[in-house]
């Protein structure tokens, strides 16, 4: 096997694993099974587009970890993870991967143990959970969701470096999108320009493809590109995310083809004021909810709450499709009383829409610093107008 390309020092991985085991001890777990691709990556460095196949990182309270994965993924694990070949257990497509997992658990003395699993993982199917429970009869199966995620919230200097690199990719791709938004071009043309620029700038495969929505299509959240031709007088909503070593930064901007309507001028102004208020509110010691309130107050005062009705932002960092964010770990929203800490990173995309008519939005990816907030993405924060 060639040189390891983990992207992090072994010491950083060791600390992450030590933090997980500290929480395992607190919950009195003997073994922890990790199925979430982002969490497997965080703890081992393993990454591959093949994460859709069964994969399980077996973490005993004492002893070495083992990654159970499809045989075809051994090459990626050998390249991108710090794990040695003795820590990789492969299954063939004709094998039962659950039995392979059980075998590893038994080898680690896990019979009749307290075993934690990630109930919230999209990649622990109901069938596999029930299968594990049946095969582990005599053991206590408990929910261990969130053990890894709580460590992912505060980014290390190296993680921040990757997110900042992803932000630079966003900047370049958004400028390329601006240059391609023209009357007569299609949304496909803009998406192609974004994809090309992000790849040229060094992006890996994405957590989510970019969103390109013009005219009435901008009135619907998460509208990806179509063959629709862009017309004069329309607003085009653009949102994209670059990916570096699985770390993401995202950026949203809006473009007016010709002079913007009075509604789009007013909505853009409100969106930008709301985003600026949220950025100004971010600093260590404040609650997630208070940042959301800063944004929400501007939109509510303008009488546009019914055209908004969403969270202000969400944690961003490691991602595999289908998402580029970490909103399942932490979101800037009402009811979340968690305290912001230095090293947290968020994507904040306030957008105002009228379904079936039009929409406008702006965002930034930001870092919570020791004294306040650092904006990672850098494209003029304004409604871009193409004459």
**CATH code at 21?**
3.40.350.10
Using a pLDDT cut of 70, give the percent of the chain over it.
99
Q: Does residue 97 lie within any of the structural domains? A: yes
Mark whether 128 and 215 lie in a shared domain: no
Mark whether 276 and 344 lie in a shared domain: yes
Q: Which of 109, 134, 152 is the last residue of a domain?
A: 152
Query: Using one digit for the tens of pLDDT, what is the confidence trace for 239-257?
Result: 999 999 999 999 999 999 9
Mark whether 179 and 254 lie in a shared domain: yes
Q: Does residue 144 lie within any of the structural domains? A: yes
Mark whether 329 and 281 lie in a shared domain: yes
Mark whether 130 and 83 lie in a shared domain: yes
| DSSP-derived pairing of the beta strands 114-117 and 31-34 | parallel
Give the tokens for residue 277. Answer: 């208020």
The CATH number of the domain holding residue 290 is: 3.90.230.10
Mark whether 37 and 163 lie in a shared domain: no
The confidence band for 225, taking pLDDT boundaries of 50, 70 and 90, is very high
Tell whether the model's pLDDT for residue 1 goes beyond 80.
no
Mark whether 188 and 46 lie in a shared domain: no
Cα dihedral: 186, 192, 193, 196 (round 10): 180
Average pLDDT, the chain: 97
Mark whether 207 and 356 lie in a shared domain: yes
Q: Which of 122, 152, 182 is the last residue of a domain?
A: 152
What is the rounded CA–CA span in Å between residue 221 and residue 357?
A: 12
Mark whether 55 and 127 lie in a shared domain: yes
Closest CA relative to residue 364, chosen from 312, 306, 326, 318? 312
Query: Using one digit for the tens of pLDDT, what is the confidence trace for 167-177?
Result: 999 999 999 99
Q: Does residue 1 lie within any of the structural domains? A: no
Q: Is the pTM of this model over 0.75?
A: yes
The confidence band for 378, taking pLDDT boundaries of 50, 70 and 90, is very high
Q: What is the domain count for the chain?
A: 2
Q: Does residue 2 lie within any of the structural domains? A: no
Helix (H, G, I), strand (E, B) or coil at 17: helix
Mark whether 167 and 148 lie in a shared domain: no
Mark whether 235 and 121 lie in a shared domain: no
Q: Does residue 225 lie within any of the structural domains? A: yes
Mark whether 370 and 226 lie in a shared domain: yes
Domain that holds residue 182: 157-386
Query: Using one digit for the tens of pLDDT, what is the confidence trace for 315-352?
Result: 999 999 999 999 999 999 999 999 999 999 999 999 99
Using a pLDDT cut of 90, give the percent of the chain over it.
98
Q: Which of 109, 135, 152 is the last residue of a domain?
A: 152
What is the rounded CA–CA span in Å between residue 85 and residue 82?
A: 10
Query: Using one digit for the tens of pLDDT, what is the confidence trace for 170-212?
Result: 999 999 999 999 999 999 999 999 999 999 999 999 999 999 9
What's the pLDDT at 2?
A: 62
What is the rounded CA–CA span in Å between residue 252 and residue 364?
A: 7
Query: Using one digit for the tens of pLDDT, what is the confidence trace for 58-114?
Result: 999 999 999 999 999 999 999 999 999 999 999 999 999 999 999 999 999 877 899
């Amino acid at each position: 096997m060639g040189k390891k390309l983990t992207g992090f020092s072994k010491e950083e991985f060791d600390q992450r694993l030590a933090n997980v085991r500290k929480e395992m001890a607190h919950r009195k777990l003997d073994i922890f099974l990790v199925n979430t691709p982002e969490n497997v990556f965080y703890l081992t460095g393993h990454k591959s587009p093949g994460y859709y196949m069964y994969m399980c990182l077996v973490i005993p309270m004492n002893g070495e970890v083992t990654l159970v994965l499809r045989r075809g993924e051994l090459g990626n694990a050998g390249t991108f993870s710090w794990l040695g070949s003795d820590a990789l257990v492969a299954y063939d497509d004709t094998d039962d991967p659950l039995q392979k997992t059980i075998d590893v658990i038994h080898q680690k003395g896990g019979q009749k143990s307290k075993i934690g699993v990630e109930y919230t993982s999209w990649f622990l199917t109901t069938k596999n959970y029930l299968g594990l429970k049946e095969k582990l009869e005599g053991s206590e199966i408990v929910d261990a969701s969130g053990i890894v995620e709580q460590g992912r919230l505060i980014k290390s200097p190296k993680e921040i470096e990757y997110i900042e690199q992803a932000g630079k990719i966003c900047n370049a791709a958004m400028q390329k999108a601006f240059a391609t938004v023209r009357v007569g071009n299609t949304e496909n043309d803009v998406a192609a320009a974004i994809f090309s620029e992000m790849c040229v700038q060094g992006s890996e495969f994405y957590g989510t493809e970019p969103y390109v929505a013009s005219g009435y299509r901008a009135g619907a959240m998460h509208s990806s590109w179509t063959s629709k031709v862009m017309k004069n007088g329309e607003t085009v909503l653009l949102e994209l995310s670059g990916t570096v070593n699985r770390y993401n930064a995202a950026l949203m901007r809006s473009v007016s083809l010709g002079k913007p309507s009075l509604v789009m001028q007013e909505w853009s102004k409100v969106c930008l004021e709301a985003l600026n208020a949220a950025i100004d509110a971010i600093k260590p010691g404040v609650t997630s909810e208070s940042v959301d309130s800063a944004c929400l107050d501007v939109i509510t005062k303008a009488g546009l709450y019914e055209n908004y009705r969403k969270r202000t932002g969400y944690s961003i960092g490691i991602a595999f499709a289908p998402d580029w964010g970490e909103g399942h770990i932490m979101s800037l929203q009402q009811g979340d009383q968690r305290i912001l800490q230095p090293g947290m990173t968020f994507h904040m995309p306030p957008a105002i829409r009228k379904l079936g008519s039009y929409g406008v939005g702006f965002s930034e990816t930001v870092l919570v610093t020791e004294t306040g907030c650092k904006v990672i993405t850098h494209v003029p924060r304004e409604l871009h107008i193409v004459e």
